[in-house]
Structure 1
Amino acid sequence: MEIDERSSNNAIDCIAERWQTSLMVPSIFRLLLGTMAVCLLPSCSNKAEEITGHRSSNYVEPNWEKFRSISFEQNEVEVPDGYAPAADRFIFADLKYESNESFARRLLGALSSRIVFIDRQQHRWKYYQSENDPIHSVTLFSQPEPWGSAFGLCRIERYEISFSSDGSVESVDVSPRYGVEGPIFQKDNFDWDNFRGSTCEEVPSAHTPSYFPVSDSVLDAQDLAILLSLAIDQAGRDGPLDYDLSCRSFSGEECEEGIRQYISALRLNEINSVNKLNCERAPNEDCFTVTVGEHQLGPYPKLITIRGTTYMNDWQVYSVSVVESFTVS
């Protein structure tokens, strides 16, 4: 059996996740260990058996830049003379005027050195009545970094902070996010030195709010990014699809809009959340259910369940099923 570097790295990362450790070994030993892991530990990834029961796919490599993370726009605000951060609490004036460095330091202490972008939620400023009102919430994003063997994907931490009525911190929710910043569809000749060196370091900080959520597993992030991007790319091309596509409402009726056109225009940054709902998996199958459009009016939110495989770089999408709701206010 032929084992490439990505497959051996994936096998090692899978073991590391189960043992909650990191394997630091030379590349030749990674390759040997990856071969052993693929052969001896099928229960780790559920992908060591032959894939059967699905029609073959005519693979066309998508342009990875089509799925690259995008910049988040935020307007500059002029700081008035005499402004100073509030003492021992966080108010609307701080949300508008305090520098990123000072604001992050007051919120996260030593962790502030990791923060590269702050979403000040300008779309919600209209709900404040005065500059002395306590802040409702704010979101901070850490420096992108390479993670495991997911070539082309960068990982960040997202800090969502909520405040109480007296302006003190009430809760902090930390979650991983991932973004496409390199050729995730590449199957060989990986430039690991460049990827683990400058690729993630040079990502514009304004890209980080567009990173998509998934579990803390970089393997899940890689599988989801590849499968969903393949489905999107094929939906935007001419000809019949190589996967089954369906759409229905929560009440069971068929969707009215052209679902293929919708899928073709979807992007990873639109994902609100990811879970395993509707994912009773067959052996060797990857499955994710993503939620999009949580705060949109009309035929939203949508639950999109995608099934397929990424085993040994033989990437195939089996099916995409959409269940849509309808929001009027």
Structure 2
Amino acid sequence: MLEPRTGDDAAQLDVCRELEGLVAWGDSAHGLGEASASLGVWASSEDELASKDARREALAKRLMEEQKQAYLREHVGVEEWQEAASVKRRRRTTPRAFRGADAAADLEELCQLLSSAMLQSPLPELRRQAHGAVLGILQRCSTRSRWLLLRALCVRCPYDAVRGLYLDVMRQNVVAQWDLPAEQHSSPCPFLSPHVAHLVRARLRLAGTREQDDGLDATAACLSLLRILLLRDGKHEEARTGIWTPGSVSELRASLRAILAAEDVRRASLDEIESNQRAALIQHPATLALGIINRCWEPEEQQRQQDGVWIKEAP
């Protein structure tokens, strides 16, 4: 049995153990993605199922069995869960340095399958169960593992609506970590680090490019996360995410202005209802964020100009 070491090696081993256990726990959820992917061909023979109602009934029975297995796995004790993961780990011949990456990739692939079921399944119950399975996986991750998985899903999920959901979960985790006492934070806490600000800037930069629109839901969720960072993070020594650094402010201004300009073009080709929807979800939050930046950063700029330090605006 592998013994934990000190420093980064021990932390990596802990993450490996956790991710392998989560992949084992989530195996039962694979049926959800498989069921969604096979709806077009499953029970195509008229001899097996002669009607749409019969197909739905058979699928419902299968989902009940999957839910039962997921429930049993979910309520396994922590000791048994960790022991199962350790048994699987002892059987591996892959060098330990690669185990964490393999397990993380498996877990992300599982969540991507569930994301497809959340959006593409014709059955509301299947969509609800897939959504619950993804949230269950995220809740069982440690802070660091949850951050790694959420960041990957926010960047690589191909569906705008689901990507917006993951960005909203990211915002909830940022708020939850900010509300914790300092002594309860993991050190360092990834949700209160410059990585969050980098993710926000990258998504907003993409949203400001009309040819590569990041999508309505994802952009709205990203603007909501940006507002939290702007209102909660401090400057200078109080800074946690670095959202208020000169370079970050310059890039955010450029991205928000590009988003507003692109929205004017998009809304011109929409009817009144869709135009008002985009205005409420994108234009108003972007204008609000830009106003917060200008109002809070103006004294800083004036002081820097007096000190002879000029901030170059992003093009």
Task: State TM-score, norm by structure 2.
Answer: 0.24
More strand per residue: 1
Q: Which has the larger radius of gyration?
A: 2
